[in-house]
Amino acid sequence: MDALRLPLRLERSGTVERGNRVDAILALIGTMFVTSESLWPEASWFGLLEVVERLNSELTQQEALRDAINRALQELAIDWVSVRSVSLGTPTGNGGVRPFTLALDMHEGEVVTRQLSM
């Protein structure tokens, strides 16, 4: 099944472009990672920038990020996926870019693992 993805784009037909569900949810989570919780006071749960900035390699911190992502997905009524786990990598020399490995539970019996960098 396809899903809307970010950034939203229109096709020539005037419909909103759709794409792979995993790519779409990763783009959404990536947007959450760089959005401040103060950007939309009515939906502060969407912005995870402050959570990401406070992260360290402690397991409890990774679980807090997983829980924050899952809460945001619930608030958005996205019920076909949840984050099973988040694993943090070591920041690289390129401006402190940090890799995250996300295990996504696709709620159809499939678990998909992908990496994001923030």
| CATH code, domain carrying 51 | 3.10.450
Q: How confident is the model over 60-108, as pLDDT tens digits?
A: 778 999 999 999 999 999 999 999 999 887 777 666 677 889 999 998 8
In the predicted structure, residue 56 carries a pLDDT above the cut 60: yes
Contact 108, 84 (CB under 8 A): no
For tokens 């923030």, what's the residue?
A: 118
* Mean pLDDT of all residues belonging to the chain: 85
How many domains does the chain divide into? 1
Categorize the per-residue pLDDT at 52 as very low, low, confident or very high, splitting at 50, 70 and 90.
confident
DSSP symbol at 111: E
Give the pTM.
Answer: 0.82
User: Which residues lie below 8 Å from residue 87, measured CB to CB, with a gap of 6+?
Assistant: 62, 100, 101, 103
What is the domain range of residue 41?
2-117
Reading the block at residue 105, the tokens are 């539970």
The arithmetic mean of pLDDT across residues 10-16, rounded, is: 86
In the predicted structure, residue 111 carries a pLDDT above the cut 60: yes
DSSP symbol at 92: P
Tell me what pLDDT residue 36 has: 93
Reading the block at residue 31, the tokens are 């947007």
Rounded distance between C-alpha atoms, residue 21 and residue 73, angstroms? 14
Sign of torsion over alpha carbons 48, 50, 52, 57? negative
The residue among 59, 61, 118 whose CA lies nearest residue 92 is 118
3 state DSSP class of 82? strand
The arithmetic mean of pLDDT across residues 42-61, rounded, is: 83
Tell me what pLDDT residue 18 has: 78
